[in-house]
Amino acid sequence: MRSKLILFLFSAALTLVNCERKPYRQGEILYQNFCANCHMDDGSGLAGNIPPLAQADYVRQNQERLACIIRYGIEEEIVVNGKAYSNPMAAIPELSEFEIANIINYINQAWGNDYGYVPVKEIRKSLEECKK
Amino acid sequence: MNWPLLAFMTVLILLGCKPEEKPLPILSKKEEVNGEMVYQQIPDFAFIGQDSNRVSNATFAGKAYVADFFFTSCPTICPVMTRNMLKIYERFQDSAELLLLSHTIDPKRDSVGRLAQYARNLGVRSGKWFFVTGDKDEIYAIADDYFNVVIEDPTLPDGFDHSGRFVLVDPQRHIRAYCQGTDSVAVKKFMEDIETLLDEI
């Protein structure tokens, strides 16, 4: 009985510790280094000039486009949360498929977002499709 | 014993003890004029604002203002600087004595139209926050007077080396405070300095 209790406490503690740990640590660091300048630490963007990534309908609805936006940039006007944006975003070609996957998975779960998980396989497929 | 008088005096003394807010120091460099050391003033300038209007030292006569240097397509420090300038704008929106002045350091790409678009996107009033462009050499030279370093350097990701400071100028055209425009904690303290200066004018 006693050992069962200890086992239970131990696993409860493990679960708690695990929940505390931030997932997508590499994605977070990459985000800080490559995206936060423009999209801000909290994913809020810059009023009217740079669109948000936090609570952004565009991110939720265009999961298969995200990898291409990161690798090749984007120039066309887009609408995010009902607001139009037209400043171009430059390509970030130095990020590998894995790094792009880590960043997207970080964004998908950061700042209250809950936009699911994207495996590298999917990223690779999207990048194949948008390659010019 | 005259109790009411004593009470009155006590109140007076206590009020007198209230620590007075220290005035902001003058940070401008000193220079010799006619054998006398005086604080340097921000020199005369004339640029073009986002409404295609002339924006000069006369625009800021009798006012305090915050100046910075940025460009609209800057991939590094400027978006965070602009967000922090926006915080200053919002906090002092109703203080007629404070204006904001952002100079582009990339006049080649930042046309008046582009600055107008940028300001419109931010949703800020043009009589309050001026976005100016003009002669590149003049902008780079005046950056120096505002304690900012601006150097064109094609080897950097920005194409520019710039220091991103916010500078507070008083109606006498003296610099009274500055901070790193990307550092939110420093910017908060800077806003307190603005309050102190506004109490003075």
Among A32, A14, A15, smallest CA distance to A24 is for A32
Q: What is the pLDDT of residues A56-92, one digit of tens each?
A: 999 999 999 999 999 999 999 999 999 999 999 999 9
**What are the DSSP calls for A3-38, one per residue?**
HHHHHHHHHHHHHHHHHHSPS-HHHHHHHHHHTHHH
The share of chain A scoring above pLDDT 70, in percent, equals: 86
What average pLDDT does chain A have?
Answer: 89
Element (H, E) at A80: strand A78-80
User: Within an 8 Å CB–CB cutoff, is residue A32 touching chain B?
Assistant: no
Query: For residue A50, which residues of chain B lie inside 8 Å, CB to CB?
Result: 79
Query: For residue B121, which residues of chain A lie inside 8 Å, CB to CB?
Result: 47-49
Between helix A120-130 and helix A97-109 the angle, nearest 10°, is: 110
**What are the DSSP calls for B26-83, one per residue?**
P-SPEEEETTEEEE--PPP-EEE-TTS-EEEGGGGTT-EEEEEEE-TT-SSSHHHHHH
Residue ranges per structural domain of chain A: 24-131
Question: Shortest Cα distance from B155 to chain A (angstroms)?
Answer: 17
Among A4, A121, A14, A37, smallest CA distance to B82 is for A37
Question: Shortest Cα distance from B38 to chain A (angstroms)?
Answer: 40
Fold of B24-200: Glutaredoxin (3.40.30)
Q: What is the pLDDT along chain B (201 residues), one digit of tens a residue?
A: 677 777 766 666 666 555 556 889 999 988 888 999 999 999 999 999 999 999 999 999 999 999 999 999 988 899 999 999 999 999 999 999 999 999 999 999 999 999 999 999 999 999 999 999 999 999 999 999 999 877 777 777 767 777 899 999 999 999 999 999 999 999 999 999 999 999 998
Binned at pLDDT 50, 70 and 90, residue A132 comes out as low
Instruction: Report pLDDT for B161.
Output: 74
Dist CA B22 CA B10 (whole Å): 24
The verdict on a CB contact (< 8 Å) between B75 and A90 is yes
Predicted TM-score of the model (pTM): 0.83
Dist CA B66 CA B197 (whole Å): 12
Fold of A24-131: Cytochrome Bc1 Complex; Chain D, domain 2 (1.10.760)
Query: For residue A49, which residues of chain B lie inside 8 Å, CB to CB?
Result: 72, 79, 82, 118, 121-122
Query: For residue A47, which residues of chain B lie inside 8 Å, CB to CB?
Result: 83, 86, 121-123
